[in-house]
């Protein structure tokens, strides 16, 4: 099993969600986050004082999938999240040791 | 003046209507008696009684109209503090201080009211010496339904008292902007009680009180201040600067970014201030008169042109007109028109607003940065600077056909402002401005020292970093789940 963590442009979230659904991936957890990578933020001016806003709002999508589905899922996210501009975000993959369904204690891929 | 003439015309019309009755009465009584009959004199006295009754009814109707407007105005001015100013300031601070900032305004709605009832009103408006009122109205003794002709002859003195109270509430509330996010609540309240008695009361008495030094009818230096440019905005704005310097900068200022946590709240607050200001300025006519209309219009025009002035200056300098700039500009224009509103034409209102909008923007955006003081929400930049600009321009633009305040011994109307040929008025305005500045600086310094020694005006650094909401009030503004 693999955890896919994708930090994406908030404006692309709906299309990422649709693309994952089409690819047959079920379930995800979504958080609103703030951050930046190499991209610099923008400036805001309040009463003549400039503030550089380097932590920008992003959306983080987390999903855990069976290993055979990882490439499909990553492909779906890459295609749907890309605008081609700086700030499109990143995808991180991590190995998952175990998954347990709380309701009936099923384990492993069956729990996904 | 105009009102008295209208009342005269009304009485003549009444007499004309009553004329036929009188004409019929002697004709009916003439046949039996040749000399002046007792019947005729009885009719005449009956007529006198009726006329007196009518006069009373006219006066009552007049009073009812004025009183209705003044009660609404009083409520509008209270709305400027809560929620108007509370929202305006509350939105500009960081979110850990939103409640404390709102509480600073709200608490004054309660505290100043009590001070006002005990002795505040008396010190402002009882006849005393040229500098401060007497104590004759303490605990509102003798302040009831009967009008006080020194101030407003057509409304109950109680209406006048409660209207003036709303000014006494918002004035210290304005100061809280310069020391936002770092004042200890207890010390701030002590400061405000003393400030209300030792700075506001003498200034209000000097400018508006009967026999006051700066009173525009009979004072030594007749200063024109229709609704509080010196009394409200200079005293509060200059005290705010003194307080900002005394308190020192916030932890992390200016390195750490401290943008407003919600310009949305500030926007709602500013719009409420704009509406409330009609009560503030047009209400200062103390009657539902043509003068109230004139002040209303000048006020609105100044707010509009100042919003354009500030946002326009930003647009040129930064490339974008900001929402915060537009609403700050409107408030700056409202501040500047305050002393002038009952003396100038709407066109002068446009000019005053534009000058104040651009002027206050430059104060806030460049002068503050140059000197490096932390007037956190620009109480001095807007109220101190705007109030001073407005008070001086009042002496320039005041016109006798808007408000004939000055007369010679024969009752002839004299020119009022510099553009009408009375250049000396600008000097009188400067005297009023100087007295307001000196009183605010000296008074605030003394009171700050007292409050600091007794309670400590500033919270500890740890409390400041954690936020005033939790450390001063044990609450948080936003307990949002997830």
Kind and range of the H or E run holding B468: helix B468-473
Q: Are A19 and A80 in contact (CB under 8 A)?
A: yes
How many of the other CB atoms lie within 10 Å of CB of B246?
Answer: 17
Q: State what percent of residues in chain B have pLDDT above 70.
A: 92
CB contact under 8 A, B314 and A49: no
Pick from B250, B328, B360, B365 the residue to mutate for testing the A interface (most A CBs within 10 Å): B365
Of A46, A52, A53, the CB nearest to B324: A46
Residue B113 has pLDDT above 70, yes or no: yes
Residue A99 has pLDDT above 80, yes or no: yes
C-alpha distances (whole Å) from B202 to each of B119, B125, B130, B434, B451 are 12, 10, 9, 14, 20
* Dist CA B394 CA B356 (whole Å): 12
Nearest-CA distance B172 → chain A (Å): 23
* Dist CA B255 CA B237 (whole Å): 25
Confidence band, pLDDT 50/70/90 cuts, at residue A35: confident
CB contact under 8 A, A46 and B328: no
Instruction: Check residue B332 and give its pLDDT.
Output: 98
- The DSSP code for A22 is H
More confident residue, A93 or A25: A93
Q: Which of A34-48, B46-60, B321-335 has the lowest mean pLDDT?
A: A34-48
Confidence band, pLDDT 50/70/90 cuts, at residue B90: very high
Residue B42 has pLDDT above 90, yes or no: no
**With contacts defined as CB-CB under 8 Å, which chain A residues touch B378?**
47
Q: State what percent of residues in chain B have pLDDT above 90.
A: 87
Residue B268 has pLDDT above 90, yes or no: yes
CB contact under 8 A, B364 and A47: yes
CB contact under 8 A, A47 and B365: yes
CB contact under 8 A, B369 and A44: no
Domain residue ranges of chain B, discontinuous segments joined by +? 82-112+164-472
Nearest-CA distance A51 → chain B (Å): 6
Region B397-401: mean pLDDT is: 96
Region B92-116: mean pLDDT is: 97
Region A1-25: mean pLDDT is: 94
Task: Name the phi and psi angles at B163, rounded to 5.
Answer: -65, -50
C-alpha distances (whole Å) from B170 to each of B102, B226, B241, B242, B294 are 13, 16, 17, 18, 23
Instruction: Check residue B33 and give its pLDDT.
Output: 47
Pairing of strands A56-65, A29-35: antiparallel
Nearest-CA distance B323 → chain A (Å): 9
Q: Would you list which residues of chain B are within 8 Å, Cβ to Cβ, of chain A? A: 254, 257, 259-260, 314, 317-318, 320, 322, 324-325, 328, 361, 364-366, 368-369, 378
How many of the other CB atoms lie within 10 Å of CB of B95?
Answer: 16
Q: State what percent of residues in chain A have pLDDT above 70.
A: 99
**Among all residues of chain A, which has the CA nearest to that of B319?**
A45
Q: What angle do CA A25, A26, A28 make, to 5 degrees?
A: 105
Nearest-CA distance B321 → chain A (Å): 10
Q: What pTM was estimated for this model as a whole?
A: 0.84
Residue A49 has pLDDT above 90, yes or no: no
Residue B16 has pLDDT above 80, yes or no: no
Residue B37 has pLDDT above 90, yes or no: no
Instruction: Check residue B217 and give its pLDDT.
Output: 86
Pick from A46, A49, A53, A54 the residue to mutate for testing the B interface (most B CBs within 10 Å): A46
Residue B481 has pLDDT above 70, yes or no: no
Instruction: Check residue B36 and give its pLDDT.
Output: 63
Number of separate helices (H) and strands (E) present in chain A: 2, 6
Confidence band, pLDDT 50/70/90 cuts, at residue A44: confident
Q: Which domains does chain A have, with CATH numbers?
A: 2-111 (3.30.70.120)
| Each residue's pLDDT tens digit, B200-253 | 999 999 999 999 999 998 889 999 999 999 999 999 999 999 999 999 999 999
Task: Name the phi and psi angles at B383, rounded to 5.
Answer: -85, -40
> Does residue B254 have a cis peptide bond before it, meaning omega lies within 30 degrees of 0?
yes
| Each residue's pLDDT tens digit, B296-316 | 999 999 999 999 999 999 999
CB contact under 8 A, A48 and B257: no
Confidence band, pLDDT 50/70/90 cuts, at residue A84: confident
**With contacts defined as CB-CB under 8 Å, which chain A residues touch B257?**
51-53
Q: Are B310 and B358 in contact (CB under 8 A)?
A: yes
CB contact under 8 A, B324 and A49: no
Q: Which of A72-81, B22-31, B45-54, B126-135 has the lowest mean pLDDT?
A: B22-31
Of B318, B369, B378, the CB nearest to A45: B318
Instruction: Check residue B375 and give its pLDDT.
Output: 95
Q: Are A61 and A6 in contact (CB under 8 A)?
A: yes
Instruction: Check residue A39 and give its pLDDT.
Output: 66
* Dist CA B129 CA B133 (whole Å): 6
**With contacts defined as CB-CB under 8 Å, which chain A residues touch B364?**
47-48
Instruction: Check residue B7 and give its pLDDT.
Output: 53
Picking from B422, B357, B359, the residue whose alpha carbon sits closest to that of residue B396 is B422
Quick one: how far is CA B308 from the chain centroid?
23
CB contact under 8 A, A48 and B361: yes
A52 to chain B, any CB pair closer than 8 A? The answer is yes
**Among all residues of chain B, which has the CA nearest to that of A50?**
B257
Instruction: Check residue A54 and give its pLDDT.
Output: 80
Q: Identify the CATH number of the domain defined by range B82-112+164-472.
A: 1.10.3430.10
Region A9-27: mean pLDDT is: 92
């Amino acid at each position: 099993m693999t955890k896919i963590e994708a930090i994406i442009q908030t404006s692309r979230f709906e299309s990422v969600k649709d693309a994952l659904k089409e690819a047959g991936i079920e379930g995800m957890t979504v958080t609103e986050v703030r951050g930046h990578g190499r991209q610099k933020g923008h400036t805001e001016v309040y009463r003549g004082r400039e503030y550089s806003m380097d932590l920008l709002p992003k959306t983080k999508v987390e999903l855990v999938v069976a290993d055979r589905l990882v490439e499909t899922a990553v492909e779906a996210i890459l295609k749907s999240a890309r605008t081609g501009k700086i700030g499109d975000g990143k995808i991180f993959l991590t190995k998952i040791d175990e998954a347990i369904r709380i309701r009936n204690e099923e384990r492993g891929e069956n729990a996904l | 003046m105009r009102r008295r003439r209208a009342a005269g015309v009304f009485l003549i019309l009444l007499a004309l209507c009553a004329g036929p009755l009188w004409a019929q009465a002697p004709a009916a009584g003439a046949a039996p008696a040749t000399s002046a009959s007792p019947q005729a004199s009885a009719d005449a006295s009956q007529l006198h009684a009726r006329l007196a009754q009518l006069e009373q009814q006219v006066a009552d109707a007049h009073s009812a109209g004025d009183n209705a407007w003044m009660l609404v105005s009083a409520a509008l001015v209270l709305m400027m503090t809560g929620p108007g100013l509370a929202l305006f300031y509350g939105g500009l601070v960081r979110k850990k201080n939103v409640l404390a900032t709102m509480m600073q305004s709200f608490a004054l709605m309660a505290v100043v009211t009590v001070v006002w009832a005990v002795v505040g009103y008396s010190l402002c408006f009882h006849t005393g010496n040229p500098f401060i009122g007497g104590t004759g109205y303490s605990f509102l003794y003798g302040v009831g339904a009967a009008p006080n002709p020194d101030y407003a002859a057509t409304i109950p003195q109680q209406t006048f008292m409660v209207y003036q109270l709303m000014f006494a509430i918002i004035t210290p509330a304005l100061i809280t902007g310069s020391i936002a996010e770092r004042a200890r609540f207890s010390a701030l309240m002590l400061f405000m009680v003393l400030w209300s008695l030792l700075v506001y009361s003498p200034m209000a008495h000097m400018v508006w009180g009967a026999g006051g030094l700066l009173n525009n009818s009979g004072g030594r230096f007749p200063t024109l201040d229709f609704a509080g440019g010196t009394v409200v905005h200079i005293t509060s704005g200059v005290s705010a600067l003194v307080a900002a310097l005394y308190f020192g900068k916030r932890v992390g200022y200016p390195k750490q970014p401290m943008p407003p946590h919600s310009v949305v709240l500030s926007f709602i607050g500013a719009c409420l201030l704009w509406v409330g200001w009609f009560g503030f300025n047009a209400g200062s006519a103390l009657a539902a008169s043509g003068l109230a209309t004139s002040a209303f219009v000048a006020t609105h025009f100044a707010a509009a042109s100042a919003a354009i002035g500030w946002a326009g200056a930003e647009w040129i300098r930064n490339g974008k007109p900001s929402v915060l700039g537009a609403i700050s500009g409107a408030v700056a224009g409202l501040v500047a028109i305050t002393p002038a509103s009952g003396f100038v034409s709407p066109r002068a209102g446009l000019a005053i607003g534009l000058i104040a909008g651009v002027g206050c923007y430059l104060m806030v955006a460049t002068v503050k940065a140059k000197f490096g003081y932390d007037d956190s929400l620009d109480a001095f930049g807007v109220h101190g600077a705007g109030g001073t600009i407005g008070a001086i321009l009042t002496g320039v633009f005041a016109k006798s056909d808007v408000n004939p305040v000055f007369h010679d011994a024969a009752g002839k109307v004299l020119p009022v402002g510099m553009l009408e040929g009375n250049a000396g008025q600008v000097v009188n305005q400067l005297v009023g401005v100087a007295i307001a500045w000196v009183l605010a600086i000296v008074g605030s310094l003394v009171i700050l020292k007292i409050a600091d020694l007794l309670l400590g005006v500033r919270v500890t650094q740890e409390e400041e970093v954690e936020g005033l909401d939790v450390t001063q009030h044990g609450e948080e503004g936003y307990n949002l789940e997830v």
